[in-house]
Amino acid sequence: MQALGYEIYETKDGFELEGITRENIQVFSKRSRSIIRKIQHSGLKVTPENRDRATLTTRKAKHITQTLEEFQQEWKAEAAAMKVEIPLPGKPQLNLWEREQQKMSYRSFITLGR
């Protein structure tokens, strides 16, 4: 994501995009809401173990009937209807290897330039 120019921040489960709020994420988390409803409907507590079980028992087979472009248009329309602003990527960021190469180049330049 960073290589594409998006800024990210770490979370306990991985990472999130900078500029996307937790509320924005919940708008598109239909599957998570479905899983939680299933657990609660069963009278159980929402725990990681129960989420794992419900995830397996509620998954439906995917029947893809739309193209990627059609899905993207649908998602954009849904985001606009919910007033979710999608951040645009900034300048692509260097990956770790490229950053290290750049640092070495700077060090060489400074050392040789003296």
Question: Distance of CA 17 to CAs 26, 38, 57, 75, 99, Å?
Answer: 14, 28, 29, 17, 21
Of 15, 49, 55, nearest to 32 by C-alpha is 55
Upper half-sphere CA count for residue 38 (Cβ side, 13 Å): 17
Name 11's bridge partners.
Answer: 14
Whether the pLDDT of residue 34 is over 70: the answer is yes
pLDDT tens-digit series, residues 36-89: 999 999 999 999 999 998 988 877 777 788 899 998 899 889 888 888 887 777
Average pLDDT on 11-37 reads 85
Structure-token match 């397996």, residue found: 56
Whether the pLDDT of residue 108 is over 80: the answer is no
Phi-psi region of 35 (alpha: psi -120 to 50; beta: other; left: phi over 0): alpha
Q: What pLDDT score does 47 carry? A: 93
Whether the pLDDT of residue 95 is over 80: the answer is no
Average pLDDT, the chain: 80
Q: What pLDDT score does 41 carry? A: 93
Q: What pLDDT score does 112 carry? A: 57
DSSP states along 47-84 = -HHHHHHHHHHHPPPP---S-HHHHHHHHHHHHHHTTP
> How far is 87 from 6, CA to CA, in rounded Å?
8
Q: What pLDDT score does 44 carry? A: 94
